Structure 1
Amino acid sequence: MDISSFSSEDFDTKAWINDILKNADKQKESSYTMSLVMKLQLYVQQVNSALEDTSQDVLASLPKIMRDSKNLQQEAVLLKEKMAVVRAEIEKIEQETGKSIESIAKLDSMKTKLILAKQGLHESDNWTLLVNDLEEVFDSRNVENISNKILGMQSSLKLLVNVADYEDRKLQLEGLKNRLEAIASPEIVQAFNSHNTEQSQMYVRIFTSIGRLPQLLKYYQKCQKDILLKKWRNQLEIEQDETTLQWIHNYYNELLSNWYTQYRWFNQVFVSESASQSLIDIYTDVLSSLDPSLNECIDAALKQVPDKLSFLLEIKQAATQFRDSLVNVISQSVQAKPNPVQIFKLQKAIFSHLVTYVKKYSSYEQAYLNKQLSSLDCMKDELPDTIQALGLSIPSVVDVCRAAKKRCQDITENCGYCGLLLALRSFLMGYADLYRVALRQIDRNRKSEEDWNVFQLCMSLMQNSGEVILELQHLEKDLTLQVLELNRQETAQYKSLLLESSDLREFESLVRCVTEGTQLSLLDSVTTELQKLCADIHHTTYLVVFAPISEHLDVVQSAQTWNQFDSSGIHNSDLPDYSFSPQEYITQIGQYLMILPQHLEPFLFKDNPALSCALKAAEQEYSNVSEEEGALAHIFLTIVARGTCQVFCDRILSICELSQGASRQLAHDISYLQNIFEELGLSLSENLQHLSALLKLPSDQYQSQSSGCSARLVAAVRQMRNIKSSS
């Protein structure tokens, strides 16, 4: 039976009984209940027995607990009495012996002062003896003996801090140290130059003992600097037949080899100093003091090499490889890591000779790109060949630009990005000039009569220009993304190594403008030039297409065109409109306009992103049309129609005199043109519609029915028709 629930604080008797009888058999419920009662009685007996045993044990142990408690209480009282006695004795001793202890303390203090005074007098006497002995030791020029004497004087001076002439003695000691250093310097230089470990260790021990170890380190650094500078000069003399690049590679290898050698030797001699920090200072000084400098050698080589950018890339790669190798060696040092400022100064010295060429990168890149532009060979003897060559050159031009972008990254780590943009602008502007030359050739070949070959050349040139703009947009996007990456790459470190302060400000300004979105176009001048070029090509194309129309319209202002209607009787004012037929000039214009869409179809009635881009750049009107097929062709026809209406109006207004029959004929010509326009989905200009209406009006009704038309046109038609004003 589980009786654990009896120990619960919220035990419910009824619930327990109901729960335990829940699964009991109905027939055997009585016997089951009796069994439970018997078990519970047994449990009660067991609990009573356990309680009785526990009570007996407690009663048996109570007397012992009482005795132990009583004994403990008595011992606590006894201890308290003893502590009171000890405290009283201590207070009595303090009262009786307080003055004696003070006297003893004073005597001890006097004793200490007497000992110090005695030592001071002894050291003062020792100082005098050491000074007198030093003159004889200096004459012997024995560095070890001199250092021992100076060390003794140094120890004496520590005990003479409170003497009146302490500062004078201190200066005297420094002077003696200087004399020792002057005597030892030739031997120090010889020991360092010959890598005499034993002798060098002796000087380290001596200079450390007299507090002059920093001066000894300067001797070492100067010796190492002189050795490395001499190696550079000797190398140039020995390797005169080698290239400048080979000189630099060999010297970098010499420096790396020297680092390993000096690192081991330094740790043997200057045990307590950092070899890496000292060698970093030496190499930084050496690379900044080479004679002749790296710049002088590179400048001389640049005058001889044909490909300056490739040469500069090799120079930069050599410096980068040397830097990486040296920094890797330094990072593997088991000693304390060098200061980051030291590492930066070392890298600054390694790349210092490249700063000049990063500054001049723009001019080098421009010169190279100009050669690439000349090699395109787009200008041919025949105009169609020239335009075809321009179209075929576009992929090459894009490749040249992307190669320049890659060179900028390789040579300048993108620090020359401002110079790259200048070079690309110059190159692309030069490339756009080739299109200008082709356009001028088209202008020279343009004729007044119908010439669809020239029209096709214009459209091909326009399409090529649009393709250049599309490629330029992709290039500019890549350039912009590259600028956005500049601060998230190693360029952030290189810009401090390769740029002067003024160039650094310009570089950071470029990055800031692009990052903040204030500068939308990196090649804005090129984009503007190409847009203007497209506008000029479009204008030339329009002139080519409009030339036949203009020539046909020239007959309108000729008096001979209209005089034939003065003497003929058939052109009576009362004849119906269908009696008139359009004249030849207007039918020729109509026929020309009807075949114009056929010539536009190869260019404008199909998906042509390049031509579409060029037209939108040339004329804002093209940018507002839908993307459906033929929309651009409709805009071009609209522009031609608008020009036709304008020139037709101008020619009509230049007519001096019109008879009634001529006036109706001219109105019929205008109506014919209107029908042609309607066939093409175009509309006649408002001025031409007004002229047509004014030309049809009977003379006697002219004044009353001309209202609503332009006053200028009303007056002009009245004058050419010789209609008298009612006023």
Structure 2
Amino acid sequence: MAVSKDDQLKDLLNSDQFSIAAYLNLALYDEDDQQQRMAELALQLQMQTQSCHEEIGKIGAELQAILPRCSADIGRVGVGLEGLRIDAASLLESTTMETSEGVSSSLETLGILHALEANLQRSKEILTAAATWDATLSSIAPLLAQQNISEAVNALAQLENGERALRGMPNPEEREEAIAKVRQQVSTMLQPQLKHALANMSTRLAPLQQCVTLYSKLNKMDALKEEYIKNRPSGLHKSWFDFKMAYDEQDTDKVASEFTTWLPAWYENVLSFMSEERRQSTTIFGTALVPGTLVKVLWECFRPLLSSFQSRLENIYSSDPARPNKGSFDSICTLYESTLQFLSLVYESVANCWIDITESGVVPEDDALNLYRDLSHIFIQVLAPFSAYQKNLSILEAQYMAGHTEPVAKQIQQAVMTVSSSDFESLQHATYNLQNMAHFIFPLAEGSLGRFELLNAGYGPTKALSTIDHVLSIHADELTMAVKSLSAAMAADEKQLVTSFDDSHVLCTLGVLKVAGTFRRNLKALEKKTCDRLRLLRERIETHGSRVKGIEDTAGSLSSKKAFTLPDSLSLVEIDSIVTKAVCGKIEGLTTAATALQRLIDAEDNAGRLFVEADEATQRLMKSCQLFIHDVCSSIPRQYIVEMSSMSSWREGSESATDTSYGILPQPYINHIGEHLLALVQALEPFTSDREALSLANDAMLGLRDIALEPWRDFVLGAGYSVESSTSSWSPGSNVIEEIMEGTCFIGLTLGGSPIDDDVEAGSDDLTSEEALKTAFCDSWLDVVGLSVTGRLLDRIVHIPSLSSKGCDHLSADLNYLVNVFSALGITGHPHPLLGHISVVAALDGTSLSEQIQARDRSDAVGGFLYVLEMHVAKLRGIF
């Protein structure tokens, strides 16, 4: 059957093999006019195209209507499947499987249905995301144009959910790029709104809470918190920089006073701000985020201010040892302590917040260990402006204390410049001033010790104590030089002193003992206080070391969050320990510091000395005071003894009528010496009536007898006895000169008897303790003056060029008189055995003296010395 051309054209148009070229070729094959056919074909093609478009639109509308229904049907199927799953689970719990031949068909069916539910749910998500993607994406631009940021954020969240559902589908890059672009646009538009909300949060929190909601949906809470924290303490920053310090180099005390007064008030504002921040953070971010937010806000309070803080400290007192300082180091310590106190309070505030939250059942975002570490780090950073002072403490202390001691040293020098032997009032005024300035250094030393405890907390104790020791020794040496100046002034015109000498001179010069006694007593008290402080510092370092080790062990455990208990408070000492370990512990570790402290403590416990240099300077001060008093008290005997060896009476050759009638009388020089010694008792006693003065003076009496060694050394050498060659003959470790001066070694070996001690000791039993102290003090000075006078007299005797028979009689009479004087004084150890011995040796005739010398046992050291002495006297007499 023949097919018409129209039918062929229709068939070709409906065929899957349709092409425009084939259709036109078939249509043009007709014999009709080609132009007419072309018009007809074009019209038909247009009609067919319109029909196709309408059909496609209809199908699209049907699909759009069907998809929601499909989605709803899938949801209902899912609900049904969930019910089936729950029923199946109930059946499994209540039914005991009788056999283990395999899984029942019911369970297999349920498994299949469950898998079907999951697949249908996934299909629903994909279909829903695909159906709404374009519409949601296109809706965002108008929302942004209308400044409807809230709806734009919701649309963005819907896009992100769709993107997650469509993962694994074609073209993921396009979807991710679209979301990133929208996110950037939304964030850009949110920024001004956030800044406005932050600027006005003091009056309205609603806009900021809205921003929190939007940023939370965008998963950009970290960015919001960063902006919030950065903006939050702006008011505190403004008040800090509004305070202007007056940088006056001429009045640094005023500068320090203003800042030390202002800073605690600013800290009070920070504490109030932190309390307010706790309430506000709870409202804005929720309870769980509050502790972490508080810590970050606290750090932001100080972060921009630390360089300014350090600059202000430097203007009060420079931490650079190379720069001259006129300010107050104490002000730096006051500011440091104020900051410690503030940090203790702010820690308590944050810790209590964390504890309250955990006790309420809420789990904070930051665990206890991290919170403690963050706060510890903030403590170190906040106190970082003080670190240079802590590291250079010893050098700064030396400079600071020198600045205080130099003016006093000048005052000490000026106090003794106008003293003369003829002006008793000047001497009295000088000794009084020295007494007042003796204890000046000790409050300064205690202050230095306190600064070491505060700023270094026990690290580097050797350097710190060495600095204090050196300053103490310098002050003691200044006092020593002053006392020596007094002694030189009195000795400059000794004849005038002898002429005007009275009891008041003795009383006044004894006052310098109070200078040395005050210094020595204060030094001992300071050493005890220092040792007590060192013990506390050692315990403090050991306690902190244990805490640090516990934290490290906790951090290394698997259950660190549960194992660590956040302390509810930290004291100033505990915070200071954290900071000083970070600063000073880098130079000297915990163990090293504790060992150094223990070594110093052991030295004190074993009767050692913490301040060795100062102790030696104290010995020098005591010795200078003792010598000054000795020189004044022995000035009259010394004046008469000095010319004694050259007197002509030693060479007299015949006896006068007076001598024949009345015997040989003591010469005038020895009478003056004896009278002075007897009068010295009355001169010493008034000083002992002041109990406090006596107590201080007794503290400065150590080694008093040593000042009498010099004349005895001259005497021994003048007698021709070689100490160096005969040392081995004396007691091992003994001082030959000291043993000869003591005189006890001569008992039973000398002529003329021994000192009378028994009666003195017996009489002392009836004295009260106070009276015994007074008597002991007076006897000590009578003893040393007596020893000195005896030694000087013996020295002058051995330097007499020659002795005639008459001269020997004079010498014997003089010595016997002096023996009687010492016996009358009743001082233990006096008169010295050599006085009576030389008196007898001088009185012996030549034959008896020769026999005495020949009979002398020289096998021991004492006998050897007496032999040398007797030979020397014999030579003076011309016997040998």
Moved more, 390-399 or 657-666: 390-399
Instruction: Give the equivalent residue in structure 1 for 2:877.
Output: 721
State the match for 1:705 in structure 2. Answer: 852
Query: What letter is aligned with 2:780?
Result: I
Q: Measure the CA separation in 2 of the matches of 1:102 and 1:161.
A: 36
Separation (CA, whole Å) in 1 of partners of 2:683 and 2:97: 134
Q: Residues 375 and 694 from structure 1, CA distance in 2 versus in 1: closer, same or farther, beyond 3 angstroms?
A: closer
Q: Distance in 2 between matches of 1:222 and 1:158?
A: 34
Residue 552 (1) aligns with residue 640 (2): yes
* 2:666 counterpart residue number: 582
* Aligned partner of 2:475 among 418, 430, 434: 430
Contact 2:439 2:518 in 1 (8 A): no
Residue number in structure 2 paired with 1:601: 685
Taking the aligned partners of 2:114 and 2:347, their CA distance within structure 1 comes to 58
Question: What whole-Å deviation, never above 9, does each CA across 1:14-49 have from its counterpart, x for those lacking one?
Answer: xxxxxxxxxxxxxxxxxxxxxxxxxxxxxxxxxxxx
Q: Is the 8 A contact 1:466 1:610 kept in 2?
A: yes
Q: Distance in 1 between matches of 2:141 and 2:419?
A: 98
> Residue 498 and residue 374 in structure 1: after superposition, are their counterparts in 2 closer, same or farther (change >3 A)?
farther
Tell me: CA distance 1:434–1:93, structure 2 relative to 1, closer, same or farther (3 Å).
Answer: closer
CA distance in 1, matches of 2:704, 2:155: 95
In structure 1, the partner of 2:574 is: 493
CA contact (8 A) 2:416 2:486 kept: no
Q: Which residue of 2 aligns with 1:613?
A: 699
Measure the CA separation in 2 of the matches of 1:602 and 1:210: 96
> Is residue 632 of structure 1 aligned with residue 713 of structure 2?
no
**Which one of 204, 209, 227 corresponds to residue 212 of structure 2?**
204
Match of residue 391 from structure 1: 432
CA distance in 2, matches of 1:588, 1:468: 36
- How far residue 197 of structure 1 moved from its aligned partner, in angstroms, is 3.8
Residue type of the alignment partner of 1:716 = H
1:280 to 278, 284, 295: 295
Q: Take 1:190 and 1:115, find their aligned partners in 2: how far apart are those partners?
A: 49
What is the distance in 2 between the residues matched to 1:439 and 1:580?
42
After TM superposition, the structure 1 stretch with the greater mean CA deviation from structure 2, 522-531 or 437-446, is 522-531
Determine if the alignment matches structure 1 residue 537 to structure 2 residue 552: no
Output one character per residue of 1:653-706: Cα deviation in whole Å (capped at 9) or x when no partner. 333433344344434433333233222235344545544444334333444321
Q: Which residue identity is paired with 2:573?
A: A
1:611 maps to amino acid: A
What is the aligned counterpart of 2:231 among 223, 235, 238? 223
- Structure 2 match to 1:441: 486
Shift of the alpha carbon at 1:587? Answer: 3.2
- Gap runs ≥5 in structure 2: 1-94, 249-253, 319-323, 359-363, 541-569, 709-741, 743-760, 857-862
Partners of 2:787 and 2:663 in 1: CA distance: 29
Is the alpha carbon distance of 1:466 and 1:311 closer, same or farther for their aligned partners in structure 2, counting shifts above 3 Å?
A: closer
* Paired position in structure 1 for 2:198: 192
Tell me what 2:520 maps to: 469
User: How far apart are residue 538 of structure 1 and its match?
Assistant: 0.8
Residues 1:297 and 2:338 are matched in the alignment: no
Partner of 2:545: none
Identity %: 15
Q: CA deviation at 1:440?
A: 0.9
Q: Residues 483 and 511 of structure 1 are in contact (CA less than 8 Å); yes or no, is this contact kept in structure 2?
A: yes
The answer to whether the 8 A contact 1:413-1:491 is kept is: no
C-alpha distance in 2 between matches for 1:198 and 1:470: 71
1:646 is displaced (CA, Å) by 2.5
Q: TM-score, normalised by structure 1?
A: 0.67
Counterparts of 1:363 and 1:164 in 2: how far apart (Å)?
79
The answer (yes or no) to whether the contact 2:698–2:777 under 8 Å persists in 1 is: yes
Once residues 167 and 371 of structure 1 are traced to their aligned partners in structure 2, the CA distance between those partners, rounded to angstroms, is: 82
Q: Mapping of 1:279-428 within 5 angstroms?
A: 279-290=294-305, 293-300=308-315, 308=328, 315=335, 319=339, 326=346, 330=350, 333=353, 335-336=357-358, 339-345=371-377, 348=380, 351-353=383-385, 359=393, 363-364=399-400, 367=403, 378=415, 381-382=418-419, 384-385=425-426, 387-388=428-429, 390-391=431-432, 426=471
Q: Give the distance between the partners of 1:151 and 1:577, measured in 2 at CA.
A: 141
1:229–1:209 distance in 2 versus 1, CA, 3 Å: same
**Cα offset, 1:542, TM superposition:** 1.9
SS of equivalent residue, structure 2 residue 512 = helix
Match of 1:680 in 2: 825
Query: What are the superposed Cα offsets for residues 204-226 of structure 1, whole Å, 9 maximum, x if unpaired?
Result: 33443455434432232233356
CA distance in 2, matches of 1:315, 1:686: 69
Contact 1:352 1:497 survives alignment (8 Å)? no
Structure 1 position 586, deviation (Å): 2.9
Confirm or deny that 1:659 pairs with 2:822: no
* Residues 405 and 723 of structure 1: CA distance in aligned 2, closer, same or farther (over 3 Å): closer
Structure 1 residue aligned with 2:76: none
Alignment of 1:215-294 (within 5 A): 215-224=223-232, 228-229=236-237, 232-233=240-241, 244=259, 248=263, 251-252=266-267, 255-256=270-271, 258-259=273-274, 262-290=277-305, 293-294=308-309
C-alpha separation between the residues in 2 aligned to 1:158 and 1:105?
32
Task: Provide the secondary structure at the position in 2 that maps to 1:391.
Answer: helix
Contact 1:309–1:364 under 8 Å retained in 2: yes
d(CA) in 2 for partners of 1:374 and 1:134? 91
Tell me: CA distance 1:639–1:517, structure 2 relative to 1, closer, same or farther (3 Å).
closer
Equivalents in 2 of 1:587, 1:93: separation in Å? 138
Letter in 1 for 2:513: M
Residue type of the alignment partner of 2:825: L
Q: Which amino acid aligns with 2:802?
A: E
8 Å CA contact 2:535, 2:601 repeated in 1 = yes
Contact map agreement 1:458 1:540 (CA 8 A) in 2: yes
Query: Quick one: structure 1 residues 263 and 639, their matched pair in 2 at CA, closer, same or farther if it must change by over 3 Å?
Result: closer
Give the letter for the 2:487 counterpart: I
Provide the C-alpha distance between the structure 2 equivalents of 1:485 and 1:233, rounded to a whole number of angstroms: 40
Partners of 1:340 and 1:413 in 2: CA distance: 22
Q: Deviations over 1:201-246 (max 9, x none)?
A: 3443344345543443223223335665456446659xx9996467
**Residues 808 and 842, structure 2, Cα contact 8 Å, conserved in 1:** yes
> Which deviations, in whole Å up to 9, do the C-alpha atoms of 1:573-604 show, x marking residues without a partner?
xx999843333333333333332322222235
Q: Deviations over 1:339-396 (max 9, x none)?
A: 4445555555555555556755775566456667878985574564464465367578
Out of 524-533 and 306-315, give the one that drifted further: 306-315
Shift of 1:712: 1.9
- Counterpart residue type for residue 288 of structure 1: R
Secondary structure, in 3 states, of the residue corresponding to 2:226? helix
Q: CA deviation at 1:318?
A: 6.2
| Greater RCO, 1 or 2 (C-alpha within 8 Å, sep 6+) | 2
Aligned CA distance change for structure 1 residues 198 and 639 (closer, same or farther; 3 Å):
closer
Matches of 1:167 and 1:674, distance apart in 2: 124
Give unmatched runs, 5+ long, in structure 1: 1-89
State the 1:652 CA deviation. Answer: 2.7
Instruction: For residues 541-562 of structure 1, give each alpha carbon's deviation from its aligned partner in whole angstroms, at most 9, with x where no partner exists.
Output: 2233334333433444327332
Does the 8 Å contact 1:369/1:423 carry over to 2? no
Name the counterpart of 1:43.
Answer: none
